[in-house]
Copies of this chain bind each other. A is one copy, B any other.
Amino acid sequence: MPWSRNRKTSAGTADPAVAGAQLSGTTTPIKTGAARPRCGTCILRPHCLPAGLAPEPLRKFENMVQHFATLAPGEHLFRVGDTFHSLYAVRTGCLKTCAVDPNGREHVLNFHFVGEIIGIDAIFPEQHFADAIALVESSVCHLPYRAISQFAREVPELQVQLVRALSRHVFSMTSISGDFSAEERLAAFLIMVSARHRLAGGGSTELQLAMSRQDIANYLRLATETVSRILARFQKSGLLQANRRQITLLNPDGLYAIAECMNPYSRGGINRRRPDKDATRS
């Protein structure tokens, strides 16, 4: 049976307040790729590709990086079918990568928060098979892959970082790919957002979501109504306070407890609904 779920595309028209807020204390949004970013002083460096580079290689790396024009909400960074030639690092804001299948259903593949790398999945096919769209005003660094890859041959530390970034990506994907209930997935999502807020230097209980309910739903493989309802349920049980995209976590531990089973590191706590489905056989 055809079986259409959420099919509309929402290109986050959102609070511009969110974007810059988190970490642009020094730098006002650059409108046209003017100044080179300075990895050396970038607050995100520990989480970015040049993490742990020595001063000299770092300088060379900086020279490869280009700063990209700021993206307005809804603007594309790249599109399905574009040739891959560059990775991107999110400096401010938030983007989503998504693909629309032949039936018109949109699948949000990932959200990309401050400090994260976009485009890793295109290295192999050498072509983007997803659209990357800014959810709020965002800016990204532009890391030409050929140059980076070439440079990595000389600088093992960079090579290590590259491989780690890839592996981490795989690692994080396994979390959402499992078979979990809507509550578990949403709780895990909120915790993830919270953690990333903290990484970017923001508070971890006051969340200003960059994405719509629909984007969240498409990402978590739910209906938007379900996301809404579960948020309401969380609110009623005192876990959080939700007002549109403004979310306040009142009881993070409670959310952790719900989401725990999705954390690959912490298998061994908490309960979930479906008692068993058997396992084992060795």
Alpha-carbon distance A75/B262, docked complex (angstroms)? 25
Q: Which of A103, A164, A212, A280 has the most CB of B within 10 A?
A: A103
Given A100-B279, A260-B102: A167 in contact with B268 (beta carbons within 8 A)? no
Q: Is the CB of A167 within 8 A of B123?
A: yes
A98 to B133, CA, bound (A): 33
Docked Cα-Cα span, A69 to B2, in Å, equals 47
Interchain CB contact under 8 A, B178 and A221: yes
Number of copies: 2
Contact in complex: A106, B267 (CB < 8 Å)? no
Q: Is A45 an interface residue (CB 8 A)?
A: no
Other contacts beyond A99-B268, A102-B267, A153-B156: 5, CB < 8 A: A123-B166, A149-B163, A153-B159, A162-B163, A217-B277
Residues of chain B within 8 A (CB-CB) of A75 are 282
**Nearest neighbor of A274 in chain B, beta-carbon distance:** B105
Contact residues in B for A149 (Cβ distance below 8 Å): 159-160, 163
Q: Within the complex, what minimum Cβ distance (angstroms) separates A200 from chain B? A: 20
Report the minimum CB–CB distance from A119 to chain B (whole Å): 10
A156 to B74, CA, bound (A): 38
Tell me whether A21 is interfacial, beta carbon within 8 Å: no
